Structure 1
């Protein structure tokens, strides 16, 4: 069985996928873990000044 779930960031795609995986006892694959590069997630005041 393959279920594809699409959505924008923050829309609950990961949460929904994990819940379905547990409920249906099927594997879960999160493409974010493979296709997104980690970036800096914080900014200091100095970085925001021109």
Structure 2
């Protein structure tokens, strides 16, 4: 269940930032959004692995 909530939260973050990038297409803003998505992906899916 925790994994499903994590995926939904990540998709929501990407959707929110995607709207920002498509409404205001600038290279510097795109770079910041890409870095934000990469850091969130790392934190949610790579760094925080389920304990066994």
Give the TM bin, normalised by the shorter chain. 0.3 to 0.5
TM-score, normalised via structure 2 length:
0.39
Higher Cα Rg, which structure: 1
TM-score, normalised via structure 1 length:
0.40
Name the structure where helix makes up a greater proportion of residues: 2
Higher relative contact order (CA 8 A, sep 6+): 2
